[in-house]
Amino acid sequence: MRWQEPARGSTDIPTETQAETGPVTTTADDHGHILVVDDDPQIRLLVARFLQRHGYQVTGAPDGRAMLEALAHSAIDLIVLDLMLPGRSGVELCRDVRATSQVPIVMLTARTEESDRITGLEGGADDYVTKPFSPRELLARIRAVLRRARAGQGAAIAQASAIVTFDGWRMDLRRRELQSPSGTLIDLSTGEFDLLVAFVEHANRVLSREALMQFAKTRTSDDPFDRTIDVQISRLRRKLEADSRGGQLIKTVRGAGYLFASQVDHQQGQPA
Amino acid sequence: MTNLAKRLWPDTVASRAILILVAALLAFHLLGYWAYRVGVENLATAGQDRGLAERIVSIKRAIASLPQAPERDRVAHDLSSASLEVHWSKVSLVLGTAPMTERTRAMEARLKELAPELAAESFRVGFADDGALGAGEANAYKHMMLVSVQLEDGSWVNFSSSALGASQHLDWGLTAIMLCFAVAIVVVALLLLRWATRPLRDLALAAERFSLDQVPQPLPETGPVEVRRAARAFNTMRERIRSLVTERMQAMAAVSHDLRTPITRLRLRSEFLEDDATRSLIDADLGEMEAMIDSTLDYLRGGTSSEPLRPVDLASVIETIVDEHVDQGQRVSLIGLNSAPVQGRVLSLKRAASNIIGNAVKYGQTATVSVTDAGDSYAVLVEDDGPGIGEADRERVFHPFVRLEESRGRQTGGSGLGLTIALAIARSHDGSITLENRTEGGLRVTLLLPKLDRTAQHVADMRG
């Protein structure tokens, strides 16, 4: 719950910002211990303060060495890792961590570099936030990833079943892509994709609106414009209808909710 | 007439060289031909003149040896030939009063020189054309040279010849050969010069095709030395322009990139503000800055991206964008096809379509988006009810940093890169974007993208 900076990293924090950190008023540390790895000292500091305010204990690290040091000395629940780091890049660090640990990782990537996003996720990151990120979006992702990890659906599971197939459709959970049976990429919004993930993870089971709402909102919980689940589902259906075989996958169960009617197979994703 | 002259005027290096070559060769040939003709003629004339002089002397002698007048006349007839006619008469054919012209004197001197016997005789030389005859006979001896030699008894032997002084006829055979020569020279020269100037044409083509977007293909430095130098200069210049533009673009990209860190900091700092209203305003400003940076970086990329081309359902991309606008409370509707597979890059296509739809929403109250089948392509039509764009500006709006604020409202903001980026992306997908004003008012933007071809679809099927 205290702002902890490993000895090596603390020297590069300007005194002016150090003064800002002075009174840390967070009280609850049961939310978890987060390691923030970013070479910009002020961003490290501000993210730390922001997360502390929301009940997390935060440790900062300016580079890979400090990160590994912190991992060795404290019990870290989640790493926020910048992709652009001096020395070893975020992707390499991500692989290093994955070699020994399943600690969840949220990657910070540049918005317009599509390849960064892909390599980040394939390096073993659980999720990503594009820079310049909105702090609340980062918070939402951290919460979702921690929740998944605590439910035992962390990186290990996500990695084991990166590709999901149903009725000829192919879903790449890591790249967040959906391919129709004819091999055409179908573009889904974040909400639609999360909804579909919820469906394939609970195939052939009736899901209530409330349950679906929970799943679909894991990524953008603060979005004030989130439409009702019914609108999301009708949009998802319309997109699945692009292939004639996809229209009837999501069935309405009167008075109970929705049911995803298909055999779902999980398979290991091909190494990229 | 001037047009024809302009068209015939040799404008290329090759045609000018041919012209020079032909002119020089023609001059050379004409001179040679003339010299040859003069030489041959002199030789022939000399032989002819000698023969003539000798014949005149011997005929005169033969006639003089005959005593009787009728005998003389008959023998004169018998000794006549095609080139020399001989008559005997009491009077001289050449009048004693005949004018002494230049050629008469020259001929007289020449006959005396060739046949020294003649010098002792009394003879007259004249040309019918010069008035050597009486008016009555002049017509019968047109163009002829006349020689009259007096015998001892005072009678005359009159010679008339057309072999000398006759007009020269043209040698058509030789002329034809020379013409063939000239044609052959032109043909050979044309082929050779086309070959010789080919590097020049390549250079011009390369300069025309010069583009910074494409992978540079240095001009081959071959051909004659001038062309090699020009090609080298061109390659150097292109490299210089390239590095200059690349440097500028890199600087612009670096600045845009670096701005992200302070923006991230500002976003984080604003989170600590107590005043919610101020915070949301700051967030909105930061959002705008981010959008500008993104579009600048997109523009600098010029429609290309590291994303691979894959079969993409264009309809689903458009649906996602329209849904986003609807979720933000904007009046955007979508009609048309539910499936439109194209070969594309999802993020790029998303960017292009959202720039176009974003514009429609920004400048009009409502936007109608439709995905339709347009033969070989799929068409995305985006129609708004805004003020439209004047004919004159329709080309201009695709240029970077051009905003038509004066006609399209002031408060709209934006970087002026939206359509530039959209067009670059459409082109990188072999597509196009066209603008037109609707008759019912407002603008219609048409994004055309080629359909996923059958083979690509087949490959995708195999993989899927």
Residue A182: closest CA among chain B residues belongs to which residue? B461
pLDDT tens column, B120-170: 777 888 877 777 676 566 667 777 778 888 888 888 888 887 755 444 445
| Residues on chain A touching B260 (C-beta within 8 angstroms) | 110-111, 131-132
pLDDT tens, residue by residue, B46-57 = 777 778 788 888
Identify which of B271, B298, B320 has the shortest CB distance to residue A112.
B298
d(CA B451, CA A154): 40
User: Beta strand A57-61 with A33-37: parallel, antiparallel or unpaired?
Assistant: parallel
Residue B258 contacts by C-beta under 8 Å, 6 or more apart in sequence? none
Predicted confidence (pLDDT) per residue in B372-427, tens digit = 999 899 999 999 998 888 888 888 888 887 777 654 444 555 668 888 889 989 98
Quick one: tokens of B198?
């080919």
Tokens of B128: 């019918």
Give how far A115 is from chain B: nearest CA, Å: 6
Q: Determine contact: B305 vs chain A, CB below 8 A.
A: yes
pLDDT of residue B215: 59
8 Å CB contact of B265 and A243: no
**Predicted local distance difference test score (pLDDT) of residue A224:** 42
Residue B38 — very low, low, confident or very high, per pLDDT cuts 50/70/90? confident
pLDDT one-digit tens code per residue, B167-221: 444 566 667 777 787 788 778 878 887 887 777 787 788 777 766 555 566 777 7
Sign of the Cα torsion A92, A267, A174, A80 reads negative
Question: Is B279 at the interface with chain A, CB within 8 A?
Answer: no
Q: What is the pLDDT of residue B168?
A: 44
* Closest of B308, B307, B324, B319 to residue B380, by C-alpha: B319
Please give the pLDDT value at position B293: 84
- Is A112 close to B261, i.e. CB distance below 8 A? no
Residues on chain A touching B264 (C-beta within 8 angstroms): 40, 43, 131-133
The model's pTM: 0.60
Give the phi and the psi of residue A87 in degrees, each rounded to 5. 80, -130
> Nearest to residue B399, comparing CAs of B418, B373, B376?
B418
Burial B84-110 (b: 16+ CB within 10 A, else e): bbbbbeeebbbbeebeebebbeebbeb
Task: State whether residue B294 sits within 8 Å of chain A by CB.
Answer: yes
pLDDT at B198: 78
- Identity of the residue in B271, B286, B294 whose CB atom sits nearest the CB atom of A112: B294
A226 contacts in chain B (CB < 8 Å): 327
* Interchain contact, A225 vs B327, CB within 8 Å: yes
Is B449 at the interface with chain A, CB within 8 A? no
Strand, helix or coil at B378? strand
**Contact check, Cβ <8 Å, A40/B265:** yes
The SS3 assignment for B126 reads strand
Given pLDDT bands bounded at 50, 70 and 90, which one contains residue B304?
A: low
Chain B positions touching A192 (Cβ under 8 A) are: 320
- B252 touching A (Cβ < 8 Å): no
Nearest-neighbour CA in chain A from B426: distance (Å): 18
Mean of pLDDT values over B315-343: 92
Find the range with the poorest average confidence among B39-43, B85-89, B337-341.
Answer: B39-43
Residue B451 is classified by DSSP as B
pLDDT > 70 fraction of chain B, expressed in percent and rounded: 86
SS3 of B432, please?
A: strand
- Name residues of chain A where pLDDT drops below 50: 1-2, 4-28, 154-158, 160, 219-226, 269-272
Which residue in chain A is spatially nearest to B454 when comparing CA positions?
A182
pLDDT at B377: 92
pLDDT at B279: 87
CB contact under 8 A, B265 and A187: no
CB B53 within 8 A of CB B115: yes
Kindly determine whether residue A225 and residue B272, on different chains, have CB atoms separated by under 8 Å.
no
Q: So what's the pLDDT on residue B431?
A: 92
Q: Is B158 exposed, middle or buried (0-12, 13-18, 19+ CB in 10 A)?
A: buried
Size of interface A-B (CB pairs under 8 A): 118
Distance CA B353, CA B441 (A): 22
Nearest Cα of chain A lies from the Cα of B216 at a distance, in angstroms, of 24
Closest-CA distance, B378 to chain A, in angstroms, reads 15
Partners of B459 on chain A (C-beta within 8 Å) are: 183
Nearest-CA distance B300 → chain A (Å):
12
Per-chain mean pLDDT for chain B = 80
Beta strands (DSSP E) in chain A are 33-37, 57-61, 78-82, 105-110, 127-131, 163-166, 169-172, 177-179, 185-186, 206-207, 250-253, 257-260, 264-267
CB contact under 8 A, B271 and A115: no
pLDDT in tens, A95-135: 888 888 888 999 887 755 566 666 767 777 888 888 888 88
Inter-chain residue contact A184 with B347, CB threshold 8 Å: no
Better-scored residue on pLDDT, A199 or B9: A199
Question: Residue A136's closest chain B neighbor by CA?
Answer: B271
Which tens digit of pLDDT belongs to each residue from B85-118? 888 888 887 877 777 777 788 778 877 887 777 7
Dist. CA B390–CA B277, nearest whole Å: 39
A110–B464 C-beta distance less than 8 A: no
ipTM: 0.70
* Residue A36 dihedral angles phi and psi, to the nearest 5°: -100, 115
Integer Cα distance of A35 and A59 in angstroms: 5
Cβ distance A180 to B464 less than 8 Å, yes or no, reads yes
Distance, in Å, from the CA atom of B414 to the CA atom of B291, rounded to the nearest integer, reads 8
Q: Do A188 and B306 touch (CB under 8 A)?
A: no
**Residue among B268, B272, B460 whose CB faces A184 most closely:** B460
The residue of chain A with its CA nearest to that of B267 is A134
Q: Burial-class residue B372 by CB neighbours within 10 Å (0-12, 13-18, 19+).
A: middle
The DSSP element (H or E) to which B374 belongs, if any, is strand B366-374
Per-residue confidence (pLDDT) for residue A58, from 0 to 100: 93
